Structure 1
Amino acid sequence: MPSFRYYTGSCPDNDPIKAILPDQRDLKVQALSYCTLDPDQTREEDFDIPEHRILWTYWQGLRGDGTIARYSQINPEDFIKAIGNVLLLEPNENGTDFRYRVYGSNVAKLVGREMTGKWISEFGEVPGRLSLAQYPAVMKLKTPLYSEHTASYSASQSTRWCRLLLPMENRDGVLDRILVGTVPKDFATIL
């Protein structure tokens, strides 16, 4: 069972994502925990971070009776309290790289880079490695993913990155966006 600080819900016993994602040492992150989320079993209350609660509830509303939310119905005003921590990604043709259509201002401020309109591959090897493993996995499995990991963002500070990845499909039923709530937590405050 993964060890999370900001998610209290359940994870599948035989999570299919374990067979897809590489070892965390290959991803160059520390204290990585992740699991897929069952949209019919996961509740808003399972998320400790308000932005994740907002995005989960929003995504569930767009999903309705379907398995994945429809991108054509997205309205940022409906999740305005989480918008600074939202990434919206679009895959390239073969799903090996993703372009940031939106890169939240809170995230940009912490990492010191605005990435809207840029590809993950432009971010650099270490920061992009985890994303380029998780995002294709979400596309393949067509299911939400929750993830936490610790990464250094300066010589003197570390951050616990808490990420909720929500797949979205277009009108034709093709998964072509991933809505991500990525919330940095100061590592010093969670020890």
Structure 2
Amino acid sequence: MRDDNFIYASLAPADPRLQRLLPDPRGYTLHNYAISAVRNADLDSNHFIHPQHRCLVDWFKSKYRDDINGVFYKRFDPLDVKPALGTIVVLEPTDNYANYRYRLYGSQVVDTYGADLTGRTSAELNTESTRNVRPQYQAAARNNITVYTEHDKDRAHELDKIARWDRWSRLILPLVDEDATVKRILVSMVATEIPFNSV
């Protein structure tokens, strides 16, 4: 069963118990915001169209351990996921999951946002963007679940003045320690241009 809010993932609507763990999309300023959750054990790369997301899900499944319901964070090596590398952001939760530090900020994400946030914290930045995505990361980290989101964002750096939009697809994977406590959040953010006049 497909949730029509998603363009680039064929995810069944989240189990109501999982959905209750997610932020309400109406509480944020993201355009056409949709969010869903998947149990880590139920991930399937066939549900994603972006090769970067498929690569990460296949890697996650190859490292998955039932005893910790996830992947041990020290097993993550960026070289294992080269096809996704430019889209990857690695976050370290801080302040009891209230904030996070950017440990790795992919080159494609830098190109889009115009800045490398490696080493910075969400508390230090406290921008509208970080306030909008923080609850997504918190849901994944606090509950050790995979979260997938999509939203539309206007292109701020276009040379012409024609309104253009990208659909941002964000896959959020929790990485845990031996006690199944989330120590890192592995995110792949892919922007796809939406055809003109389709918004």
Contact 1:12 / 1:35 at 8 angstroms: preserved in 2? yes
Alignment of 1:73-152 (within 5 A): 73-152=75-154
Partner residue, 2:59: 58
Normalising by the residue count of structure 1, what TM-score does the alignment of the two structures yield? 0.90
Partner residue, 2:18: 16
Shift of the 174–141 alpha-carbon distance from structure 1 to 2, 3 Å rule, reads closer
| Deviation of the 1:172 alpha carbon | 4.1
Give the 3-state SS of the residue equivalent to 2:102 in structure 1: strand
Shift of the 9–189 alpha-carbon distance from structure 1 to 2, 3 Å rule, reads farther
Contact 1:15 / 1:36 at 8 angstroms: preserved in 2? no
Q: Could you tell me how far apart the structure 2 residues matched to 1:60 and 1:189 are? A: 37
Q: Could you tell me how far apart the structure 2 residues matched to 1:189 and 1:124 are? A: 32
| Deviation of the 1:187 alpha carbon | 2.3
Partner residue, 1:3: 5
| Deviation of the 1:20 alpha carbon | 4.1
Contact 2:43 / 2:57 at 8 angstroms: preserved in 1? no
Give the 3-state SS of the residue equivalent to 2:96 in structure 1: coil
What do the CA deviations read for 1:141-187 (whole angstroms, capped 9, x no partner)? 21101110112241743221100000001244321100001111112
Q: Could you tell me how far apart the structure 1 residues matched to 2:41 and 2:75 are? A: 20
Please say if 1:168 is aligned against 2:175: yes
Partner residue, 1:183: 190
Give the aligned residue type for 2:185: I
Give the aligned residue type for 2:139: A
Q: Could you tell me how far apart the structure 2 residues matched to 1:39 and 1:20 are? A: 15
| Deviation of the 1:9 alpha carbon | 2.8
| Deviation of the 1:188 alpha carbon | 2.9
Give the 3-state SS of the residue equivalent to 1:188 in structure 2: coil
Partner residue, 2:33: 32
Show structure 2 runs of 5+ residues with no match.
none
| Deviation of the 1:116 alpha carbon | 0.8
Contact 1:35 / 1:147 at 8 angstroms: preserved in 2? yes
| Worse overlay, 63-72 or 176-185 | 63-72
| Deviation of the 1:88 alpha carbon | 0.3
Show structure 1 runs of 5+ residues with no match.
none
- Identity fraction in percent: 25
Normalising by the residue count of structure 2, what TM-score does the alignment of the two structures yield? 0.86
The number of residue pairs the alignment matches comes to 190
Give the 3-state SS of the residue equivalent to 2:58 in structure 1: helix
Contact 1:151 / 1:161 at 8 angstroms: preserved in 2? yes
Contact 1:6 / 1:47 at 8 angstroms: preserved in 2? yes
Shift of the 33–23 alpha-carbon distance from structure 1 to 2, 3 Å rule, reads closer
Give the aligned residue type for 1:181: S
